[in-house]
Structure 1
Amino acid sequence: MRDMRSRSRIVLCLTAVWTGVFVTHQALSAQPTQQAPGTQARQPAVSPAPQAITSALVERAEEPATLTFFNRPIVTFRARVAGRTPTERVAGALHVLDDLVEQGASGEVASSPFAGGALITVGTSGVIVLTSLDLDDLAGETFERVRAQTVSRLQQALAEATEARAPGILLRSALLAAIALALATGALWGLAHARRRVGALFVDVSERRVTKAGIAALDALRASRVLEFQRHLATAVIVAADLVVVYAAATFILRRFPYTRRWGESMSGFLLTTIENLALGVVNGIPGLFTVLLIFAVVRVVVRLVRLWFDAVERGQARARYIYPDTAQPTRRLVTALLWLFAIIVAYPYMPGSQTEAFKGVSVFLGLMVTFGSSGLVNQIMSGFMITYSRAILIGDFVRIGDVEGTVVQVGVLSTKIKSLKNEDITIPNAVVVAQTTTDYSRFGDTEGVFIPTSVTIGYDAPWRQVQSLLLLAAERTPGLRKEPKPVVLQASLEDFYVKYTLLVCLERQQSRPFVFHALHANIQDLFNEYGVQIMSPNYVLDPAAPKVVAKKDWFAAPAHPDPPSGSSQQP
């Protein structure tokens, strides 16, 4: 009876309401065991009273509070009991636990269930009142599991709190931590020394191999990418080993001391869980990885077959409708890209980790990058397709695009490269090529010929037949001009003071135009000087004293002939 009263006083300190609950429970549990079997069937008649108290004085709180003792979470309160919030319940429990630890009281942690809850005790002292409303329904918690976890966690926290007050145990833990720290420091020093030794070993082995091969330029070897890759690989392995040593030492040291033991256990559990998850992920991903490799292997074989066929089309050994030899290579690249894209789409569900949130996040990020940054890129690609498949310009053609003139070196997906007459490598975006006016001088250069003009202006006092003959003779003397089609001279316009003559010639090679025109202009000057024809456009301030006309006797001045040359009537 004395024990019952002392326990009731302790419960009254926690909450007055639960005193009646606890007394009722003790009274029921203290009944003599020598009762008739029929009497126990009538005992539940007293249970409605505690249940009524529970429903009246226990309600769900708005904000939960977690009881943490000696750095270990014990239980989370979610109910308001007799007007006391979860925070106040936590403060009361901590006060009792601190008093027990200060007094050095020890005892077994136990639980005494009653209708609607349980009382957690340490020895003869009540500490925690746990109710059914403290459970997290969304997490699927059950009362028995939460009660058992609370008892176990409280027992462990009290044991560690008692251990923290034992100087001998703390001294032993500090000694073990110092030894672990010394060993970790030595291991890190050894790994740093090993990294230097491994790097020097790579250099020595490479130099010996080069010496045996008879190569004297060892400086080139030291700067080679292979040696740098070996060094970086060794550095990465040793840095990973350093991290493992630091992690293991920190875990061991934290677990030596009672207050930090939970952190050490968390680090150890995290590492073991991570390794376990990685191992399980690798094992579970083997079938999917095998499927991915099989898909890629099949697509690679198909890509090789496609490459062989398009190579045959490019060499003229095979023919295909709408595919020309000059478009075979870009078409092959396009088909290859589509095949690999199809392979990635098919293999995506089988890739290990494809269903994880991280993988999905990366996919969304890449999608956003493509969406916001692909407008200009798609424009360039579509322009490249237009240039390629319309065959507007071909590789090797001499073209003029806007103000740029030169030989087409490459028609790429995004840009077109042109080699100018001054050996300049000019890159023009495909969208600019499509938007500009393009002149191709090579498309008909080998067949019908492309006429290139050059002009002179001569006064009206020079016989036009003579001027025409001089221009044709200059073209005949100039190397690099085609004989067929023949050069043509046109009187382009009759101006106020002069006649504009245009000489149309066909070049053998468009790429040599500057040099051919240099020679042509030199021959024109020489011939006009030789025959006394002035290349000048006269301008007048006053009317001339005599009409500026050609006398009839001079109409066929040398080198003109009485019959006009055939070139004078030829159409370009």
Structure 2
Amino acid sequence: MLVNRTPVFTLRAARDGQSAEQRAAAASAALRRAVEDDPAEVRTEAQGDVAVVLVGARPIVTLGPEDAAAAGDPTPEVHASRVAAQLRDALRKEQSRSATLMTLLSVALVVLSGILGLFLIQRAGVLADKTRAWIADNPERVPAIRLRSIEVIRPASLRAAIHIGVGAAKALAQVGVLYGWVLIALSLFEPTRVYAEQLTGFVFGPLYALLVRLVSSLPLLVVALIASIALIVLVRFVGLFFDSVARGETTVEWLPADLAVPTSLLVRAAIILAFFVLAAPLVTGDDGGTLARVGIIAVVALGLAITPLLASVAVGVTVVYGRRLRVHDFAEIGGREGRVCAITLLEVRLEDARGHEVRVPHLLGLIHPTRVLGPEPLVTVVLTLAPATAGQEDVRDLLLDAAGAVGQRPAADLLAFDADGALYSVSAYSSAPDARARLNAALAAALTAAGVPLGRPPRSAAAAEAWIAAGAPPGRPPRAQAS
């Protein structure tokens, strides 16, 4: 009798009209069926003067006295026990060989599936990169999403959303391939098969529960989707309306064009918060539902997170709508001086003397005083001339002519003089950002051309310079002191 072409024991006698070869073939077939079904315990059972060898409940061979005599055993029971021991050993070896082959096959499948998984992960990355490159090379092929004449989503926003979606799909596909490979690797081996079942339940259990809840709340989801679309359309319409006001295409009596942009931001933010706080309970029919709680949490979190921003906006509202500053005027805000380029709810944008943009938050206006200098601020230069120039009208006229070439309403005042020099203050009103540098250059050129000598600052110059730094108007200098 053979097990997978390996001899287990030999039948030498004929029985019940069958030759030894026929009996061995029948026993091999029965044993093969038993192994294919489920190998069980090998046992013997005495039935009269014969003994039967069984694998589980399936009889394999019946041994009689002639078989025992041919094998040199005293009784059929003894012969059956020896045959059962040989069969048991053969089955154990066959199971070990089969387990080894299955392990090798499983390892090969793990390696093969890993290679396939790496290919799929790489392919997902290549497809995502190609999609992004196509969008970058063909931006005009991505149209805007319109609802009749209202542009709900701009092409740039749609391209950004596609970029984000492609990245998310790439990550999801790669994670899915990796999860599938881990699941296959765990399920191929008997010791780790239980972990595969646990992993499947851990991943798909919550997804199944979520799917059940989504299906049960499908009518509510449809209503919420319609309300969300209406919210997006409303916010987009409000933004387009205020944009047209800012561009001058639409004229509104109660809203100047320069206030359209900050007003648009405030109105859209108010619409979104009102939707979550007020409209969401009406849509869902639950005052304490998830959307209502999200709205309340969003309002509270927003209030805590942007407290400094809200404070700046509160100050900005008084500045913007109170018209305390005007665009193109000069001002000193938060210790910074320059031409006002723009006034928003958060900051004032200045252009300094070098043409750089300086953004000053409104909160600094609560700490530093704000000086409104007007469209043409006063520019003052203090210089020291020789003592002999004190009181000379031609020198004063020279200074006035130089200041008049730079700005309007020039003034030249003698602040102090003594034996070391005469301290003059030369000023003019000018809207040029570099007016101070130009005034210095004009004075230097005029004094050099006229040959007027410079002097040393008088001992009373400190008080005069402090007076100038305080922003006192020209024409009212402190009393000159002679030494």
After TM superposition, the score normalised by the length of structure 1 is: 0.48
Distance 2:416 2:208 in 1: 94
Question: Does structure 1 residue 517 correspond to structure 2 residue 439?
Answer: yes
Residue 209 of structure 1 and its aligned partner are, at CA, apart by 11
Q: Confirm or deny: 8 A CA contact 1:396 1:409 kept in the other structure.
A: yes
Partner of 2:210: 278
Counterpart among 450, 453, 457 of residue 380 in structure 2: 453
For residues 301-323 of structure 1, give each alpha carbon's deviation from its aligned partner in whole angstroms, at most 9, with x where no partner exists: 433443454345435552444x4
Partner of 2:398: 470
Residue 235 of structure 1 and its aligned partner are, at CA, apart by 4.8
Counterpart secondary structure, 2:371: strand
> Structure 2 vs 1, CA of residues 345 and 284 (structure 1 numbering), >3 Å: closer, same or farther?
farther
Matching of residues 166-565 of structure 1 within 5 Å: 178=103, 182-200=108-126, 233-247=169-183, 250=186, 260=194, 267-271=199-203, 273-315=205-247, 318-321=251-254, 323-346=255-278, 348-349=280-281, 370=302, 373-441=305-373, 443-445=374-376, 450-457=377-384, 459=387, 462-476=390-404, 478=405, 480-482=406-408, 486-491=409-414, 493-494=415-416, 500-507=423-430, 509-526=431-448, 528-529=450-451, 533-537=452-456
Residue 190 of structure 1 and its aligned partner are, at CA, apart by 0.6
Distance 1:489 1:324 in 2: 42
Distance 1:209 1:376 in 2: 39
Partner of 1:23: none
Counterpart secondary structure, 2:425: strand
Distance 1:495 1:431 in 2: 43
Residue 372 of structure 1 and its aligned partner are, at CA, apart by 5.5
Q: Confirm or deny: 8 A CA contact 2:333 2:369 kept in the other structure.
A: yes
Q: CA RMSD in A?
A: 5.1
Q: Which amino acid aligns with 1:387?
A: V
Q: Which amino acid aligns with 1:502?
A: S
Q: Which amino acid aligns with 1:188?
A: G
Q: Which amino acid aligns with 1:505?
A: A
Residue 431 of structure 1 and its aligned partner are, at CA, apart by 1.3
Distance 1:345 1:377 in 2: 22
Matching of residues 49-64 of structure 1 within 5 Å: none
Distance 2:423 2:244 in 1: 53
Distance 2:109 2:225 in 1: 45
> Structure 2 vs 1, CA of residues 461 and 274 (structure 1 numbering), >3 Å: closer, same or farther?
closer
Q: Confirm or deny: 8 A CA contact 2:348 2:362 kept in the other structure.
A: yes
Distance 1:538 1:270 in 2: 86
For residues 282-313 of structure 1, give each alpha carbon's deviation from its aligned partner in whole angstroms, at most 9, with x where no partner exists: 32343333333333333334334434543454
Counterpart secondary structure, 1:487: strand
Q: Confirm or deny: 8 A CA contact 2:121 2:173 kept in the other structure.
A: no
After TM superposition, the score normalised by the length of structure 2 is: 0.55
Q: Confirm or deny: 8 A CA contact 1:528 1:535 kept in the other structure.
A: no
Q: Which amino acid aligns with 1:338?
A: A
Distance 1:428 1:199 in 2: 45
Matching of residues 40-55 of structure 1 within 5 Å: none
> Structure 2 vs 1, CA of residues 510 and 490 (structure 1 numbering), >3 Å: closer, same or farther?
same
Residue 243 of structure 1 and its aligned partner are, at CA, apart by 0.7
Q: Confirm or deny: 8 A CA contact 2:353 2:433 kept in the other structure.
A: yes
Distance 2:239 2:132 in 1: 38
Question: Paired residues, what number?
Answer: 347
For residues 136-190 of structure 1, give each alpha carbon's deviation from its aligned partner in whole angstroms, at most 9, with x where no partner exists: xxxxxxxxxxxxxxxxxxxxxxxxxxxxxx989x979968984666545432321
Q: Confirm or deny: 8 A CA contact 2:121 2:177 kept in the other structure.
A: no
Q: Which amino acid aligns with 1:536?
A: G
Unmatched runs of 5 consecutive residues or more in structure 1 = 1-165, 214-224, 541-566
Residue 192 of structure 1 and its aligned partner are, at CA, apart by 0.7
Q: Which amino acid aligns with 2:117?
A: L
Residue 270 of structure 1 and its aligned partner are, at CA, apart by 4.7
For residues 85-122 of structure 1, give each alpha carbon's deviation from its aligned partner in whole angstroms, at most 9, with x where no partner exists: xxxxxxxxxxxxxxxxxxxxxxxxxxxxxxxxxxxxxx
Residue 368 of structure 1 and its aligned partner are, at CA, apart by 7.7
Q: Confirm or deny: 8 A CA contact 1:474 1:527 kept in the other structure.
A: no
Counterpart secondary structure, 2:213: helix
Partner of 1:13: none
Counterpart secondary structure, 1:511: coil
> Structure 2 vs 1, CA of residues 232 and 527 (structure 1 numbering), >3 Å: closer, same or farther?
same
> Structure 2 vs 1, CA of residues 234 and 332 (structure 1 numbering), >3 Å: closer, same or farther?
closer
Unmatched runs of 5 consecutive residues or more in structure 2 = 1-90, 140-159, 460-473, 477-483
> Structure 2 vs 1, CA of residues 417 and 344 (structure 1 numbering), >3 Å: closer, same or farther?
same
For residues 331-383 of structure 1, give each alpha carbon's deviation from its aligned partner in whole angstroms, at most 9, with x where no partner exists: 121111111222233454568x99899x9998898778656544434333333
Residue 517 of structure 1 and its aligned partner are, at CA, apart by 1.6
Q: Which amino acid aligns with 1:318?
A: T
For residues 243-298 of structure 1, give each alpha carbon's deviation from its aligned partner in whole angstroms, at most 9, with x where no partner exists: 134236536756998xx5xx666555555533321222332343333333333333
Q: Confirm or deny: 8 A CA contact 1:396 1:408 kept in the other structure.
A: yes
Residue 237 of structure 1 and its aligned partner are, at CA, apart by 0.2
> Structure 2 vs 1, CA of residues 471 and 397 (structure 1 numbering), >3 Å: closer, same or farther?
same
Distance 1:298 1:418 in 2: 40
> Structure 2 vs 1, CA of residues 419 and 233 (structure 1 numbering), >3 Å: closer, same or farther?
farther
Q: Confirm or deny: 8 A CA contact 1:408 1:416 kept in the other structure.
A: yes
Distance 1:182 1:364 in 2: 56
Distance 1:228 1:437 in 2: 46
Residue 193 of structure 1 and its aligned partner are, at CA, apart by 1.6
Q: Which amino acid aligns with 2:396?
A: Q
Give the fraction of aligned pairs with identical amino acids, expressed as a percent: 20
Counterpart secondary structure, 1:189: helix
> Structure 2 vs 1, CA of residues 185 and 342 (structure 1 numbering), >3 Å: closer, same or farther?
farther
Q: Confirm or deny: 8 A CA contact 1:398 1:511 kept in the other structure.
A: no
Distance 1:354 1:176 in 2: 64
Q: Confirm or deny: 8 A CA contact 1:488 1:505 kept in the other structure.
A: yes
Distance 1:308 1:209 in 2: 26
Residue 516 of structure 1 and its aligned partner are, at CA, apart by 2.5
